[in-house]
Amino acid sequence: MKNKEYILLLLFIISIFFGCTKKDREKISVTSSSDSLSTYFSLANDFSLGYEKRLLFTQKAFTIVANKENDSLNRVNLFKVANRYYNINHYKEFNKTVNLVLSNSEAAQDTLNIIKAYTYLGDYYDSQSVMDSSFQFYYAAEKMSVDSGDKFNLSRILINKANLQFKAGDYFGAEKSVFSVLRTIKGTELTNNTLYDAYNLLGVIYVEFGEYENGITYHNKALLISGDKTIPEVFQSMATSYNNIGFLYLNSKKYLLAKEYYQKGLQQKNLIIQKPLLYSMLLDNLAYSKFKLKEKEGLPKLFYQSLKLRDSLQLTSGIFASKVHLSEYFASNEDSIKALQYAKEALLLARSTNSSRDILVALKQLALIEPEKASVYTKEYIQINEKLQKAERAMGDKFSRIEYETDKIKTENSSLEVQNRNLVYLFSALAILGMFLYILKSQKTKNRELLYKQQQQKANEDIYNLMISQQNTIETNRVKEKKRVAQELHDGVLGRMFGVRMNLDGLNGLQDEIAISQRVSYLSELKNIEQDIREISHDLNREKSELINNFVAIVDNLFEEQRKTFQSKLVSTIDSRIKWELMTNSLKINLFRIIQESFQNINKYAKADCIIVEIKRQEDDLLLVISDNGVGFNSNLKRKGIGIQNMLSRTKECNGIFNIKSKKGEGTVITVTLPIEQKQLQTLI
């Protein structure tokens, strides 16, 4: 076929071929977790099996994989399932599987598999001829691959993108993308798969440009590496190159060379099993080259063989090409009925698939067969051709707009990231400043508390020194009293006892009445001495009691001052079982201060008529209870007065428990429980 539209048709068919099985190029060195899954994958990819069986095995594999945990192996297996759906053209399930693995990859923040899923979605929309969506996913995957530095995936994405641009008629964009691929893989150890696809597509592009020398150069480069062992045999790369070179020579009217290359392509082993689409294409192209060479051998049988195979494979574009070729063949043999039949069938098929390029080819063929209706066909041809050119230009513009908008969004996101980062820095600085101010304020509070404690410590020391001074005074008086008692015993009692003893010794040998009377007199004197000793002993006991109960005296003095100074009635009770001489000075000082602070608060705020103070021993504790019938206050308030805080602090210093109960109008009860130290307790017991 000489016209440009037919060239575009064949290029479209070739580009579809490149896309159909590209999934198989990805080798994943991951073994299945079960023998059954591995078997299903293998059978689903067995090209010798029919469509239904391969679909069944793919579905079984999906059922196993879909129920597994979302880990890296599971995502690999989901991609393998998607590949097999793609290879049998089951695009609905392919799309479903890819969206599932994309969701899992995003949940796991698996960047590489997100890129791969975007690429697969680009393939899906490409298969559905939704080119703008396909390009959008390819471009998103391309940008992520650039950021990740993954040259292998980037090169494959760029090849897919170039094929899409070629199909959309954006040949310059496709050429640019292919050279981006070559720059990406330059100097790397990537396999020849990508290099073969790049050379092959460049050859097809240059044929479209009419640059046949450049075209054959790149096709020969592709042919040279088509037999490389890194390219799986199932791809039939050599047969593909032979077909494309044959098409180049067919387009440049070198029909004999075209025929030779088509024949070479058909001679490739297992071609009809592994690539029936390519086999049917080579049959049709061979028949067409024979037709152009005016060879009648094998014609129209070769055309019919190709049409039958394409029909069984439901290859719409291939069926269209076969019918157009048959129309040309019968028209050249002046069989206008069959020529018109196949041309109209081709036009009807093109309209059903809404393929503008195919419609143009069919209209042009009909205009040649029916000259009387040529004007009608030509008019429609011109209208569709104008729409097609506008659509191709619009698609190219849309691709550029997608790239621009995607880059713009990426720039905006980068700007937003910078803003967010700056906000994080600002909030961090504010948080640090706030923490610094808090620490500073806290330190000042601690310093005030420390100063208060120091002042409190000094006051305690003063009280302690005062009590020591009092004790020293008492001790001095006690020593004087002891001397006085000793003098009395020595000078009075002992002298008298000595005199009585000497007189009694003198009377030992006498038994008369006078001696008896004197003995009675001396016994009476001994009774008097005994009474004197008893009185001295009582005096000593009173002194000891006064010394022991010195703290009680101090507290009693505080109670007496309270009674004299204020009108409220004071009732006080101090447990006599308490051995104050065994209490530590710090405990007695803090207890005294708590009582003193309580009186101050009651006198200042409570307006009480009666105050009751109890100091008693309760098991292992010393218990202080101070109650009043004053106005009371809300004891649940978080903030306490300085007086209560002081009492609480003194209680804590003695490892005690402080409790206050009060309600407005119901008075106040303060309970302080101070533990008696174990050493003291043992002495008390």
The three-state (H, E, C) secondary structure of 264-304, written as one string: HHHCCCCHHHHCHHHHHHHHHHHHHHHHHCCCCCCCCHHHH
Quote the pLDDT of residue 614: 93
Helix axes 111-127, 91-107, angle to 10 degrees: 160
Helices H, strands E: what count in the chain? 26, 5
Quote the pLDDT of residue 564: 81
pLDDT category of residue 610 using cuts at 50, 70 and 90: very high
Secondary structure (3-state) at 508: coil
Bond into 300 cis (ω within 30): yes
Quote the pLDDT of residue 537: 64
Cα separation, 472 vs 480, whole angstroms: 12
180 φ/ψ sector (left φ>0, alpha ψ -120 to 50, else beta): alpha
Cα separation, 279 vs 307, whole angstroms: 11
Which residues face 659 on adjacent strands?
671
Q: What is the DSSP letter of 236?
A: -
Listed as own residue / partner, the contacts of 115-120 with beta carbons closer than 8 Å and 24 or more positions apart are 115/141, 115/144, 115/145, 115/148, 115/150, 115/153, 115/157, 116/79, 116/141, 116/153, 118/144, 119/153, 119/156, 119/157, 119/160, 120/23, 120/79, 120/82, 120/86, 120/94
Between 515 and 345, the more confident residue is 345
Q: What is the pLDDT of residues 282-294, one digit of tens each?
A: 989 998 888 888 8
The C-alpha angle with vertex 127 and arms to 251 and 327, in degrees rounded to 5, equals: 40
- Mean per-residue pLDDT for 498-512? 67
Quote the pLDDT of residue 623: 92
Does residue 88 surpass a pLDDT of 60?
yes
Displacement of CA 590 from its chain's centroid (Å) = 56
Between 110 and 453, the more confident residue is 110
How buried is residue 599: exposed, middle or buried, by Cβ count under 10 Å (0-12/13-18/19+)?
buried
Quote the pLDDT of residue 683: 43
How buried is residue 91: exposed, middle or buried, by Cβ count under 10 Å (0-12/13-18/19+)?
middle
* Residue appearing with tokens 């997100």: 114
Instruction: Find the farthest-apart pair of alpha carbons in the chain and give their distance in angstroms, rounded.
Output: 196
CA dihedral 164, 167, 171, 177 (to 10 degrees): 20
- Mean per-residue pLDDT for 364-380? 81
Per-range mean pLDDT, top range of 110-119, 121-130, 284-293, 418-427: 284-293
Above pLDDT 90, what percent of the chain?
Answer: 5
Between 618 and 409, the more confident residue is 618
- Tally Cβ neighbours within 10 Å of residue 203: 27
Per-range mean pLDDT, top range of 118-127, 140-149, 224-233, 613-622: 613-622
Cα separation, 609 vs 667, whole angstroms: 10
Describe the strand order of the beta sheet including 621-628 as a list of residue ranges: 569-574, 610-618, 621-628, 668-675, 657-662
Quote the pLDDT of residue 6: 42
Q: What is the pLDDT of residues 182-213, one digit of tens each?
A: 887 777 766 667 888 888 888 888 888 888 88
- Mean per-residue pLDDT for 618-644? 83
Does residue 648 surpass a pLDDT of 70?
yes
Cα separation, 559 vs 416, whole angstroms: 75
Cα separation, 378 vs 258, whole angstroms: 31
Residues 6+ apart with CB under 8 A from 54: 43, 44, 45, 46, 84, 87, 88
Per-chain mean pLDDT for the chain: 77
- Where is 494: in which H helix or E strand? none
Two structure tokens written together for 209: 């440009």
Cα separation, 303 vs 366, whole angstroms: 19
Q: What is the DSSP letter of 33?
A: S
Quote the pLDDT of residue 548: 44
Does residue 661 surpass a pLDDT of 80?
yes
Q: What is the pLDDT of residues 520-571, one digit of tens each?
A: 776 776 777 776 676 666 665 554 444 445 778 888 888 888 888 788 899 9
Quote the pLDDT of residue 174: 82
Quote the pLDDT of residue 363: 82
The C-alpha angle with vertex 183 and arms to 180 and 187, in degrees rounded to 5, equals: 155
- Mean per-residue pLDDT for 326-331? 87
Q: What is the pLDDT of residues 19-39, one digit of tens each?
A: 444 444 443 333 434 568 888
pTM of the predicted structure, to 2 decimals: 0.48
Q: Which of 158-167, 265-274, 537-546 has the lowest mean pLDDT?
A: 537-546
The amino acid that residue 459 corresponds to is A
Beta carbons of 23 and 78 less than 8 angstroms apart: no
Two structure tokens written together for 643: 């007086």
Cα separation, 596 vs 569, whole angstroms: 16
Two structure tokens written together for 37: 């899954």
- Tally Cβ neighbours within 10 Å of residue 519: 15
Between 225 and 639, the more confident residue is 225
Quote the pLDDT of residue 520: 73
Beta carbons of 362 and 347 less than 8 angstroms apart: yes
Does residue 613 surpass a pLDDT of 90?
yes
